[in-house]
Amino acid sequence: MTLPKDEIYFLLYQLKKFTFGAKLRLCHNNLDKIINKTRRKHIENLKLLQINPTMSKINMLFVFIIIVCFFACEQGNTQGNNDKSLTEIKTKSSIADIVRNPVTAHEALDTINVAKMEFDETEFNFGTLLEGLSVEHDYTFTNTGKVPLVITDARSTCGCTVPVYPKDPVAPGEKGSIKVKFNSAGKKGNQSKPVTLTANTYPAFTKVFIKGYVHNPNAVKDSGDDHEGHDH
């Protein structure tokens, strides 16, 4: 039996339509499976996040405590460094002595357990000096305190006066000296130059003076009334 050509085309069309519908249903089913699988996984993740909210709060609290402790330690270290008033130095016997240095105005000062610098003389008068010449003098002192004496600075108000001080600690009962050199170049008349020493004493500053008269024969005015060289 031979089917008409139109019927054959019709049957092929129906077969093609059925096949396409089957493929479409298969794709639809696969898509539903993928959506359902993704939905279940998302729900499981949400459940995991909500299983134990107490543990999450504990973890957050633990992290917060660690941060607070860290900043507290940093602040404590900074405060400790600011409040330090004792400095350890080595003496000639290699024994570490504790020396009190000048401290801040907000901290109580120990005026007893400090170094003390007692000079044989705090003023030296070199008399009359010809302009252009230099003069030197040693100011001898004794540490009558209870801790080693540490001089940290020595300076004058004029570049013409140069002090030299000991850089090593001076033990209690020991002597030391400050050498001061005065250059009279460009000077005339009465001169009084202070030298300020900074040390671990109380008070922290001590002054010595070098005085005298500079004679400048070429100066127009050169009398004892010239107060140009006075520095107090």
pLDDT digits (tens, 9 = 90+) for 216-231: 888 765 444 444 566 6
Using left for φ > 0, alpha for ψ between -120 and 50, and beta otherwise, residue 10 falls in: alpha
Q: What is the pTM of this model?
A: 0.52
pLDDT of 95 = 34
Cα torsion angle, 20, 21, 27, 31, sign: positive
Of 211 and 61, which is predicted with more confidence?
211
Structure confidence at residue 133 as a pLDDT band (50, 70, 90) = very high
Least confident of 24-33, 109-118, 153-162, 170-179: 24-33
Residue 183 has pLDDT above 70, yes or no: yes
Residue 87 has pLDDT above 50, yes or no: no
pLDDT of 191 = 97
| Long-range contacts of the stretch 36-44 (C-beta < 8 A, 24+) | none
pLDDT of 192 = 97
Nearest-10 Cα torsion for 64, 69, 75, 77: -150
> What pLDDT digit, counting tens, does each position of 138-175 carry?
999 999 999 999 999 999 999 999 999 999 999 999 99
Residue 185 has pLDDT above 50, yes or no: yes
Structure confidence at residue 73 as a pLDDT band (50, 70, 90) = low
- CB of 193 within 8 A of CB of 160? yes
- CB of 197 within 8 A of CB of 206? yes
pLDDT of 67 = 74
pLDDT of 98 = 42
pLDDT of 65 = 76
Of 143 and 5, which is predicted with more confidence?
143
- CB of 146 within 8 A of CB of 113? yes
Residue 134 has pLDDT above 50, yes or no: yes
Taking all residues of the chain, what is their mean pLDDT, rounded to a whole number? 75
Q: What is the 3-state secondary structure (H, E, C) of the chain?
A: CCCCHHHHHHHHHHHHHHHHHHHHHHHHHHHHHHHHHHHHHHHHHHHHHHCCHHHHHHHHHHHHHHHHHHHHHHHHHHHHHHCCCEEEEECCCCCEEEEECCCCCCCCCCCCCCECEEECCCEEEEEEEECCCEEEEEEEEEECCCCCECEEEEEECCCCEEEECCCCCECCCCEEEEEEEEECCCCCEEEEEEEEEEECECCCEEEEEEEEEEECCCCCCCCCCCCCEECC
**Percentage, residues of the chain above pLDDT 70:** 52
Residue 232 has pLDDT above 60, yes or no: no
Q: Which CATH number fits domain 111-230: 3.40.50.300, 3.80.10.10, 1.10.760.10, 2.60.40.10?
A: 2.60.40.10
Residue 132 CB neighbour total at 10 angstroms: 12
